[in-house]
Each structure stands twice: as C-alpha cells, then as structure tokens.
Amino acid sequence: MTPECWPVYGLRITTPRLVLRLPDLGALEKLAAVAAAGVHGPDEMPFSFPWTDGTPERRARTTFQHVLGTVAGWQPEKWTLSLAVLHEGEVVGRQDITARDFAVTKEAQTGSWLGLAHQNQGLGTEMRAAVTHLAFEGLGARALTSGAMTDNPRSLAVSRKLGYEADGVEVVPVRGEARTVRRLRLDRASWERHRSLPVGLHGLEPCLELFGAERG
C-alpha cells in the first residue's frame, strides 16, 4: 500500500536486473540484515562516515534508522531518497540520492553500497545508472556529484563508466586518520553520451513536489 500522504513509497525505478524502491518495514528489515552480513572487509573503510564499524546488530540498526530518518527529515529544500535495491526479488543493497535546494541548484549527490555477496557483478553500475536516470530524466537535474576514496577502484570504475569526470580531491578525517576522497561530477551532456541501460520510472509524478522538481 502506498500511503497517500507519502507517495515516495510508490516510486519504482527499474533496470534490466533491478528494482529500486523506498523500503517498507519488511524490505527494511531485509536491508538491515544485508548490512549486518557485511559490506566490506575489516581492513577497508570506504565511507567518510564509518557507519559500518561495530557489531552486525549495530550495522542493522544504523541502516534501519538511517532510512526511516530520511523519511522523517524530508523537506523539499533538503531531501535524501534512500532506496532499497532488489535483484530477483531479493534485497541486495542501498542506493541514496540527496540534495539541498534542488529547485534552485538542480544538483544532487549519490552514495551506495551492496552486500558483500552481491558485489562485482555489475549491479553497482546498474543501480547508479538507475538514479542518474531519475535525476536527469525524472527530476530535470543539471549535474550529479559523487565521491570515492582514492583506494576504492570499484566505486571509481562505476563512476567512470557512467561518464563522471574528476572534480578535485578532498581530505576527510576517518577513524582519526586523513583520507583522500576523489570528487566526481556528471553533467547532463556526459550522462546523455554514456547512458546505455534502459531504465523505467514509475509513480514519480505525485512525488515531484516533494523533490522540489517541476512537472515536465
């Protein structure tokens, strides 16, 4: 059931292998379990905010609260869409897209992860292609940004394949150490040149106002 007052629960983005949607409680429980089972090796920390540190139970609760927090805190001037990614009906990871004053800037930023068992099969590329389509085709974005640690070749490869270009670096404190993030930027023209996957958007129209986006 899609709550009438929160139509974002009815939004679906589809690619040849994936469905992306805001998780209801059942899907959120599954997403939390995927996070608990592991997102990266113990010696790695691909995130600027090290939310994966700690026990599996803590990762599960952090994931659960993060997604509900995005719904609770949503404003058209500052939103985060945190989507569960489903492959063959199974929840495999999360794809976020976030923006401040999208109505003015027409820019948004993405972040994502897959459970360890689902990585390196092209799904990360497909889910990012899904939200780039939402942003450019559905919401009328002018540019998207992303970032990855310099030692995260898979995330950097996903961005490169989809047409993102280098946009400088930034040093951030992570677990008390200085880490370098490579910033990346995808403009509409480069997205057009690199898009290769068919992506479907369903149930977007009633959500446009919440994104600060105009009807096309």
Ligand X SMILES: CC(C)(COP(=O)(O)OP(=O)(O)OC[C@H]1O[C@@H](n2cnc3c(N)ncnc32)[C@H](O)[C@@H]1OP(=O)(O)O)[C@@H](O)C(=O)NCCC(=O)NCCS
Among 3, 50, 122, 198, binds ligand X (CB under 6 A): 122
What string of DSSP letters covers 34-68?
HHHH-SS-TT----SS-TT-S-HHHHHHHHHHHHH
Is the Cβ of residue 15 or residue 125 nearer to ligand X in the bound state? 125
Shortest CB 174 distance to ligand X, Å? 12
Cβ atoms of residues 67 and 28 within 8 Å: yes
Tokens of 108: 């948004």
The alpha carbon dihedral of 111, 210, 164, 19 has a sign of positive
β 107-114/143-149 pair status:
parallel
* Per-residue mark of binding to ligand X, 123-162 (x: CB under 6 A): xxx----------------------x---xxxx-xx--x-
- 112 binding ligand X? (CB under 6 A): yes
Give the helix, strand, coil percentages of the chain, each rounded to 5.
Answer: 40, 30, 30
Is the Cβ of residue 82 or residue 152 nearer to ligand X in the bound state? 152
Of 49-108, binders to ligand X (CB under 6 A) are: none
Is the Cβ of residue 31 or residue 204 nearer to ligand X in the bound state? 31
Residues that bind ligand X (CB under 6 A): 39-40, 46-47, 112-114, 119-125, 148, 152-155, 157-158, 161
